[in-house]
A and B are shown apart, each in its own frame.
Chain A
């Protein structure tokens, strides 16, 4: 079987959909963040695949490297915030945190 652009795009679309589903269905803040990681990596697959098959350059790969670094930075900040929330509320469930007015 010849692996081509459509295969990569299919995987990335599935990954993105799974990530979005996790974001919408999870109550746990850390679960939501894991969903976000899936979505970011879906975009990364796209970038790398397009740089190989469409642009024939390496712009997309450079972009993917930056996104990986950024995802790590974002995870660090987000987990610190989740920790602060756990200290204050005693839970990591995003939907039980409702002290602000609706």
Chain B
């Protein structure tokens, strides 16, 4: 559909967009609330943002039962669609946003005595959540680019949130420079794709690719340029350079949401874009042709293999827990990319389920770092010695998160990895599966270095061994993340069904 024919003020569509609308209004109200109180009462924007997220979340959960999801509820013509995939990611993003808002409230890095502009943080989280939701819903090049940039712009500001801190400023500078360059490369690729197909919406691009003769080399160049922009968002090698520096430099609650939110949104966008344009539709033979003309499986397999190996190997020699978690999140992107190999529904379902599990366990691990940073003002592994006895409950929950990140059987991470491995083995890509299995073993080493420091290393003479008391909100959020990480490892059926339905109800526009 051409943009001109879109009837923008079509309010009947907007009923399907209540969560996004609530978050946008919440963003404005929170900002105004912060201004009215002259930034002296951050509790006002905090309460407004929690209220907005809870309201949006309840609408999003209610929206799951909408019978129209399978066919897709179009908004603004063909620009945006709310379908199964979007409904799934909406809930994921709102959950991550809410957890981050609650935890940031207790973080010294955001709320400490000397910090400025405490209230704006909560407003920015709302905007970021809304933009990520649009990323999962875009089905037109225009919305694809605008939503990615919206997430980017908010992230640049949040990374540099501690304005007077050298590390934070440096992180945001690196973020904005890398981000601007990679999105410019992606935009150029998108413009060439528009030239090849003469269409802006994904379905139109698909139709043109299937019907016309496709120049394989041109399509490969275009796809590589687009992957460059998207792999920056998800932090896959070779566009991962920013990731460790930004996660280390940014305030830890911000790193926590960066490590799950934009990453999951990037995957949602990649799933919809590449599945629709390269693989979807009734004409399976044509799909196979297009995927193989550009050698897609090999391209993704190589990126995936390099990403997971690099992330794990470099994580091995990190002494800073926050930086180690950054490299571990790069490694996890490598595992997730395995599901992309053949763009089959089974692989995409595995990605969705793993993203769900990954959100729980990675947020948890980062939040533990936030809680400890409040007391120790440090993220160094050496300072974690003896924490198992100073704050036993929180440290035990950290062990749950780390074991799940490793992928040890009774935890959710194992089930998630199991499905990803199955998707690859099913298509007989044995070398990739073997490499991923070896990588998991490497992961065991560095994740358990943290466990060893917390529980099994004897503190030095004279080291502080007084018990640490965490905020009750911190215990609550950690438990809310840790319990499902355990339970999902035993009863995952319902949540796997949720992921399966999300992919089944993804509309591709045919």
Chain A positions near chain B (C-beta within 8 angstroms): 9, 12, 16, 19-20, 23, 29, 32-33, 35-36, 39-40, 42-44, 46-47, 49-51, 54-55, 57-60, 62-63, 66-67, 70, 73-74, 77-78, 81-82, 84-85, 88-89, 94, 97-101
- With A55-B198, A99-B166: A94-B153 Cβ-Cβ less than 8 Å: no
> Which one of A43, A47, A57, A81 lies within 8 Å of B2 (CB-CB)?
A57
The reply to whether A63 and B200 form a contact with Cβ atoms under 8 Å apart is yes
Q: A77-B156, A97-B173 given. 6 additional CB < 8 A pairs?
A: A36-B180, A43-B191, A70-B149, A78-B180, A88-B165, A100-B244
Tell me whether A66 and B184 are in contact (CB under 8 A): no
Assuming A55-B199, A100-B249, is B146 touching A66 (CB within 8 A)? yes
Listed by A's residue number, 28 A-B pairs whose Cβ atoms lie within 8 Å are A16-B188, A29-B173, A29-B177, A33-B177, A39-B188, A40-B184, A43-B190, A44-B191, A46-B191, A49-B195, A55-B198, A58-B3, A59-B2, A63-B142, A63-B200, A70-B145, A70-B146, A74-B176, A74-B180, A84-B172, A88-B166, A89-B166, A94-B173, A94-B177, A100-B167, A100-B245, A101-B248, A101-B323
- Highest count of chain A CB atoms <10 Å: which of B2, B170, B171, B245: B170
* A-B residue pairs, 5 tightest by C-beta: A46-B191, A39-B184, A50-B195, A55-B198, A43-B187
- Taken together as a complex, chains A and B put the C-alpha atoms of A73 and B174 apart, in Å, by 18
Cβ–Cβ < 8 Å partners of A67 in chain B: 145, 187
A96–B167 alpha-carbon span in the complex (Å)? 13
Contact A81 B169 (CB under 8 A): yes
Complex Cα distance, B177 from A82, in Å, reads 10
In the complex, whether B220 has a CB less than 8 A from a CB of chain A is no
Q: Does B141 contact A (CB under 8 A)?
A: yes
Residue of A33, A43, A62, A78 near B3 (CB, 8 A) is A62
CB pair A88–B200 under 8 Å, yes or no, is no
Give min CB distance, B118 to chain A, whole Å.
17
Query: Across the interface, which residues of A come within 8 angstroms of B171, CB to CB?
Result: 100
Of B141, B163, B191, B199, which contacts A84 at CB under 8 A? B163
A71 to chain B, nearest CB (A): 9
CB neighbours of A97 from chain B (8 A): 170, 173
CB of B192 within 8 A of CB of A46, answer: yes
Task: Give Cα distance in the complex from A32 to B163, angstroms.
Answer: 22
Per the bound structure, the CA–CA distance linking A43 and B192 in Å amounts to: 8
Contacts of B141 in A (CB 8 A): 63
Q: Shortest Cβ distance from B355 into chain A, in angstroms? A: 27
Report chain B residues within 8 Å CB of A60: 191, 194, 200
Tell me, rounded to whole Å, the shortest Cβ–Cβ distance linking A25 to chain B. Answer: 13
Taking each of B177, B244, B320, which has the highest tally of chain A beta carbons within 10 Å of its own beta carbon? Answer: B177
Partner of A74, one of B153, B160, B165, B248: B153
Point out the residues of chain A lying under 8 angstroms from B157, CB to CB. 77
A64 to B458 CA separation, bound complex (whole angstroms): 62
- Whether B153 pairs with A36 at a CB distance below 8 angstroms is no
Least CB separation from B166: chain A residue: A99
| Residue among B167, B180, B191, B323 with most chain A CB within 10 A | B191
Contact B195 A46, beta carbon cutoff 8 Å: yes
| CB-defined contacts of A51 to chain B, threshold 8 Å | 194
Bound CA–CA A70/B435 (angstroms)? 41
Beta-carbon contact of B142 and A62 below 8 Å: yes
Nearest residue, chain A, Cβ from B163: A84
Q: B185 on the interface (CB 8 Å rule)?
A: yes
How far, in whole Å, are A88 and B162 apart by their CA atoms in the complex? 11
Nearest Cβ distance between residue A34 and chain B, in whole angstroms? Answer: 11
B480 located at the interface, meaning its Cβ lies under 8 Å from any Cβ of chain A in the complex: no
**How far does the alpha carbon of A49 sit from the alpha carbon of B198 in the complex, in Å?**
11
Does B164 have its Cβ within 8 Å of any Cβ on chain A?
Answer: yes
How far does the alpha carbon of A66 sit from the alpha carbon of B248 in the complex, in Å?
Answer: 33
A81 contacts B172, C-beta separation under 8 Å: yes
- B152: chain A residues within 8 A (beta carbon): 74
Q: Is the CB of B169 within 8 A of A101?
A: no
- Does A100 lie within 8 Å of B191, measured CB to CB? no
Bound-complex Cα distance A64 to B160 (A): 29
Partner of B156, one of A9, A19, A78: A78
User: Does chain A have a CB within 8 A of B285?
Assistant: no
B277 to chain A, nearest CB (A): 16
Residues in A whose Cβ lies below 8 Å from that of B323: 101
Closest residue of B by beta carbon distance from A35: B181
Closest partner residue, chain B, to A73 (CB atom): B153
Report Cα–Cα, A66/B144, bound state, in Å: 12
CB distance from B458 to the nearest CB of A (A): 27
Verify A42–B180 contact, CB threshold 8 A: no
B463 close to chain A: CB less than 8 A: no
Instruction: Report whether A47 and B191 are in contact in the complex, using a CB–CB cutoff of 8 Å.
Output: yes
